[in-house]
Amino acid sequence: MGRTPLLRLTGVTRDLPPDVRVWAKLEGFNPGGSVKDRPALRMFQQGLETGELRQGKTVIDSTSGNTGIALAMMGSALGYPVHLVIPGNASLERRQIIEAYGAIAIESDPLEGSDGAIRHCREVIAANPDRYFKPDQYFNPANPLAHYETTGPEIWQQTEGKVTHFLAGIGTSGTVMGTGRFLKEKNPAVQVLAAEPDDSFHGLEGLKHMASSIVPGIYNELELDGKVPVSTEDAYDMVYRLGREEGLLVGQSSGGACWAALEIAKRLEHADIVTVFPDFGDKYLSTTLWAGWEELGPAVPAGG
């Protein structure tokens, strides 16, 4: 788990000034297929260490998908049942993956999104409080800690300490908080930025529009140097470009992070900007991301 590659983008960055580089941490290479393997492992370990997770307990959480996949994988490997409350509109593939690992998916109201899943999960636990261990990714310090201990040091090492900006999308905010904290400790001049959906109704699975959401307990906006609002349309266009210009098939939130990183990159003359691509795109093929993409027509070869 972890030790994922850091890839320098060379296609979508073509028009940037020569001394501005953009790097993407390819988190889809984790065994469960996303960045969420890191916090899921840390939260499992913490539960086992404190004894809150022990034989007879069922692991439960509300998750828009990737944390669920990671918990389901670990529950299966370690012998703990896993129940996951997921919004009814989470992609079919993610639901199937969760169930293939033997976990149980409990659907919450699709119109209420990830906040509806959080509320429904609370109700399920309240009805049977002794049965469950809840990793509680939105409030558990082990979530950002996983990134402080692994993602941050990996980026520092992979850029040989040259990273100038770190930018990640915000869902629980664990990635940007934990990684940002580590990098700022190494070099306080590193700018830590968050990419955020520009609207409460957005199609960026895994990301949160903070102003209209239940704010995660682990989120501290004061630690950020800035936020970049991203529209669903710009993020989707960037997903298509990454496929055609970089050979990378990624999810919506990677498109959003990449678009935001390029917005920052355009204004700089010397920079090494690191962003996170939280997962690959194969589990979103049935979503609106790809509805109507054929209208793009054939790819135009570089210089052609």
- What does the binding site for ligand PMP look like in residue numbers (CB under 6 A)? 34, 36, 64-66, 169-175, 205-207, 251, 253, 278-279
In the complex, the smallest distance separating the C-beta of residue 9 from ligand PMP, rounded to whole angstroms, is 18
**CB-based closest residue to ligand PMP:** 206
Q: Which is nearer to ligand PMP, 16 or 251 (CB)?
A: 251
Cα Rg of the chain (Å, integer): 19
For residues 171 and 203, which CB has a smaller minimum distance to ligand PMP in the complex? 171
Task: Tell me whether residue 75 or residue 278 sits nearer to ligand PMP (CB atom).
Answer: 278
CA–CA distance, 32 with 143 (Å, rounded to integer): 16
Task: Give the type of residue at 49.
Answer: E
Catalytic annotation on 254? no
Catalytic residue, chosen from 36, 134, 208, 283, is: 36
Beta carbon of residue 54, minimum distance to ligand PMP (angstroms, whole number): 26
Q: What is the DSSP letter of 52?
A: S
- Contact at 8 Å (CB) between 160 and 136? no
Please tell me what DSSP assigns to residue 154: H
Cβ proximity to ligand PMP: between 92 and 300 the closer is: 92
d(CA 239, CA 258) in angstroms, rounded, equals 9
Token pair listed for 281 = 């795109």
Quick one: 159 or 173, whose CB is closer to ligand PMP? 173
173 is catalytic: no
Of 140, 142, 132, the C-alpha closest to 53 is 132
Q: How far is the CB of 77 from ligand PMP (least distance, A)?
A: 20
Query: What's the rounded Cα separation, in Å, for the pair 153 and 158?
Result: 8
> Minimum distance between the CB of residue 283 and ligand PMP, rounded to whole angstroms?
9
Partners of 140 in beta bridges: none
Q: Active site residue: 34, 108, 173, 253, which one? A: 253
Smallest gap from Cβ 179 to ligand PMP, in A, equals: 9
With beta carbons less than 8 A apart as the criterion, state whether 63 and 117 touch: yes
Q: Could you tell me the two tokens for 192?
A: 């830590």
List the catalytic residues: 36, 253
